[in-house]
């Protein structure tokens, strides 16, 4: 196996395009080959066996990284983007009335919410404006949890369709292709 270390590193470098990652991949390949040496069948081609281990290790690591969320390290000096419609307005809800909440929204957003069918509108307001859980919404609307999820999905989809141009004009979504 030691005769093939340079070849393993070269293949790993070609796959990863990064010397440090290539060293890690080659090392992991050797560790796995040593751990599972009893599975190697004598008389077969060891180079092909090692390359298969290398390829499978690379693919598994690639899939594992693809499933992980991307992390961005902030130094702390950048201000966080304010997503509030009007950062100067602080809102403290006094009652459970959603009409007060709707007044804080831009006209286009408020009109889009008001145009939704009643059940969809109630679910969207409770979830997205009042920050209620699905369970709380189900209890309030006196319906099953699955119905709440369906109403939210459909209501949000209708909102997304109605507010596409609004979001694009505020650079909240990419250009239409």
CATH number for the region 98-169 comes to: 1.10.10.10
Average pLDDT over residues 70-96: 58
pLDDT at position 110 is 84
Q: Which CATH number fits domain 2-67: 1.10.10.10, 3.30.1490.20, 1.10.1740.10, 1.20.1250.20?
A: 1.10.1740.10
What are the boundaries of each domain within the chain? 2-67, 98-169
| Cβ-proximal residues to 159 (8 Å cutoff; 6+ apart), any chain | 112, 113, 116, 124
Whole-angstrom distance, CA of residue 7 vs CA of residue 2: 10
Q: Record the pTM.
A: 0.44
- What confidence tens digit (pLDDT) does each residue in 137-149 have? 999 999 999 999 9
Is pLDDT larger for residue 113 or for residue 23? 23
Report the range of poorest mean pLDDT among 55-64, 150-159, 161-170.
161-170
- What confidence tens digit (pLDDT) does each residue in 56-80 have? 999 988 888 877 776 666 666 656 5
């Amino acid at each position: 196996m030691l005769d093939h270390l340079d070849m393993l590193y070269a293949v790993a470098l070609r796959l990863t395009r990064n010397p440090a990652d290539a060293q890690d991949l080659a090392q992991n390949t050797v560790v796995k080959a040593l751990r599972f040496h009893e599975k190697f069948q004598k008389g077969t081609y060891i180079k092909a066996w090692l390359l298969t281990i290398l390829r499978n290790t690379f693919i598994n690591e690639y899939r594992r990284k693809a499933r992980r969320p991307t992390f961005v390290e902030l130094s702390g000096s950048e201000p966080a983007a304010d997503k509030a419609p009007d950062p100067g307005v602080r809102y403290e809800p006094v009652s459970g009335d959603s009409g007060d909440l709707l007044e804080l929204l831009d006209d286009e957003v408020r009109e889009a919410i008001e145009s939704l069918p009643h059940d969809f509108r109630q679910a969207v307001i409770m979830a997205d404006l009042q920050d209620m859980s699905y369970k709380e919404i189900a209890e309030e609307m006196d319906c099953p949890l699955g119905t709440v999820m369906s109403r939210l999905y459909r209501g949000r989809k209708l909102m997304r369709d109605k507010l596409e141009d609004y979001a694009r004009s505020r650079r909240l979504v990419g250009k239409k292709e």
